[in-house]
Amino acid sequence: MENNISKAIYRVDGKGKISGKAKYIDDVKFKDLYYAKTVRSEIPKGKILSIKIPNLPKNYFVIDKNDVPGINRMRTVVSDHPIFAENEVHYVGQPILLVVGADREIISKIVNEIKIEYEEKKPILSIKEAVNNKAIFTEYNYSKGDPTKAFQEAETIIEEKYQTGYQEHIYIEPQGIVAEFKDDKMHIFGSMQCPFFIEGAIQDVLGWKTDQIRVTHSTTGGAFGGKEEFPSLLAGQVAVASLKTKHPVKIIYDRNEDIISSTKRHPSIIHYKIGLDKNKNITALIVDVNFNAGAFSGLSPVVLQRGIFSATGVYNFHNLKVTGKNYKTNTVPCGAYRGFGAPQVIFAIEMLMTNIAKRLKINVLDFKKRHLLKSGDSTATKGIIREEVKLPKMIEIVEKMSNYKKHSTEKKKFKGMGMSLFLHGCGFTGKGENDIKGKIILQKKGNQVSINVSSVEMGQGAETALRKIVSYTLSIPIEQVIYEIPDTKKVPDSGPTVASRTTMIVGGLLKSASVELKEKWEKQKDITVTRIYKHPDFLKWDDDKFEGDAYPVYSYGVNVAEVEIDPVTFEIDVKNMWAVYDVGTVIDERALRGQMEGGMLQGIGWATTEVMNSSKGKLVQKNMTDYKIPTVKDIPKFQSEFVKNPYEFGPFGAKCAGELPLTGPPPAIAEAVSNALSITIKKIPITSEYLMEAMKK
Partner 1 sequence: MKIEFQLNNKNEIIEVDPSRRLLDILRDDFGLKSVKEGCGEGECGACIILLDGKAVNSCLISAGMINGKSILTLEEFNKTDEYKLIEESFLEAGSVQCGFCTSGMVMSTAGLLNVNKNPNETEIKEALSGNLCRCTGYQMIVEGVKLAVEKMEKEIPLAKSQSRKEEDNYSLGNNAHQIAKSQKIVSKKGEFANTIDEALEILDNEEVTIISGGTDLMVKNAGSSGVKPKFNKQLLFIGNLDQLKKIQLIDEKIHIGSAVTLNELLMNENIPEVFKELISEMASFPTRNLATIGGNIINASPAGDTLPFLYAADAELVLKSKQNERTITIDKFIYGPGKTIIDSNEILYKIIIPAKSYDINYYKKAGSRKGMSLSKASFIGMVDFENDKVSDVRIAFGAVASTVVRSRDLEKKMIGKTKREIDSVYFEVVKKYNKLIKPIDDSRSSKSYRKDVCIRILKEFFGKIIKSK
- The answer to whether 402 contacts partner 1 (rule: CB under 8 A) is no
List the interface residues with partner 1, window 34-53 (CB under 8 A): 35, 37
First to last CA, the chain: 61
- The answer to whether 10 contacts partner 1 (rule: CB under 8 A) is yes
Identify which of 152, 681, 206 has the alpha carbon closest to the alpha carbon of residue 420: 681
- The answer to whether 57 contacts partner 1 (rule: CB under 8 A) is no
Cβ atoms of 459 and 448 within 8 Å: the answer is no
- Residue nearer to partner 1 on the CB measure, 378 or 688: 688
State the number of binding residues for partner 1 (CB under 8 A): 79
C-alpha of 513 from chain center: 29
CB of 605 to partner 1, least distance (A): 9
- The answer to whether 621 contacts partner 1 (rule: CB under 8 A) is yes
Cβ atoms of 448 and 480 within 8 Å: the answer is yes
- The answer to whether 458 contacts partner 1 (rule: CB under 8 A) is yes
CB of 684 to partner 1, least distance (A): 14
Taking CB under 8 A as the rule, which mask of x and - marks residues 212-231 in contact with partner 1? -------xxxxxx-------
Q: How far apart are CA 318 and CA 277, in angstroms?
A: 13
CB of 219 to partner 1, least distance (A): 7
Label each residue of 187-228 as H, E or C. Answer: EEEECCCCHHHHHHHHHHHHCCCHHHEEEEECECCCCCCCCC
- The type of residue at 596 is M
- The answer to whether 104 contacts partner 1 (rule: CB under 8 A) is yes
Identify which of 474, 482, 486, 367 has the alpha carbon closest to the alpha carbon of residue 419: 367
- The type of residue at 334 is C
- The answer to whether 594 contacts partner 1 (rule: CB under 8 A) is yes
Q: Cα separations (Å) of 190 from 68, 99, 211?
A: 21, 19, 19
- Residue nearer to partner 1 on the CB measure, 397 or 624: 624
- Angle, helix 665-677 to helix 688-696, in steps of 10 degrees: 40
- The answer to whether 477 contacts partner 1 (rule: CB under 8 A) is no
- The answer to whether 637 contacts partner 1 (rule: CB under 8 A) is yes
List the interface residues with partner 1, window 431-450 (CB under 8 A): none
Identify which of 27, 168, 24, 179 has the alpha carbon closest to the alpha carbon of residue 98: 179
List the interface residues with partner 1, window 238-267 (CB under 8 A): 252, 254-255
CB of 162 to partner 1, least distance (A): 22
Identify which of 696, 650, 663 has the alpha carbon closest to the alpha carbon of residue 677: 696
- The answer to whether 601 contacts partner 1 (rule: CB under 8 A) is yes
Estimate the share of the chain in helix, then strand, then coil, as percent rounded to the nearest 5.
30, 25, 40
- Residue nearer to partner 1 on the CB measure, 137 or 171: 171
- The answer to whether 582 contacts partner 1 (rule: CB under 8 A) is no
List the interface residues with partner 1, window 531-570 (CB under 8 A): 568-570
Identify which of 610, 499, 599, 586 has the alpha carbon closest to the alpha carbon of residue 559: 599
- Residue nearer to partner 1 on the CB measure, 254 or 388: 254
- The answer to whether 318 contacts partner 1 (rule: CB under 8 A) is no
- The answer to whether 31 contacts partner 1 (rule: CB under 8 A) is no
Give the binding range for partner 1 (CB under 8 A) out of 10-18, 73-81, 311-319, 410-418. 10-18
Give the binding range for partner 1 (CB under 8 A) out of 79-87, 465-473, 514-522, 599-607. 599-607
Strand partners, 450: 443, 482
Q: How far apart are CA 561 and CA 416, in angstroms?
A: 8
In this chain, which of 18, 157, 515, 532 binds partner 1, going by CB under 8 A? 18
- The answer to whether 401 contacts partner 1 (rule: CB under 8 A) is no
- The answer to whether 362 contacts partner 1 (rule: CB under 8 A) is no
- The type of residue at 535 is H
The DSSP output letter for 333 is P
In this chain, which of 173, 229, 288, 549 binds partner 1, going by CB under 8 A? 173
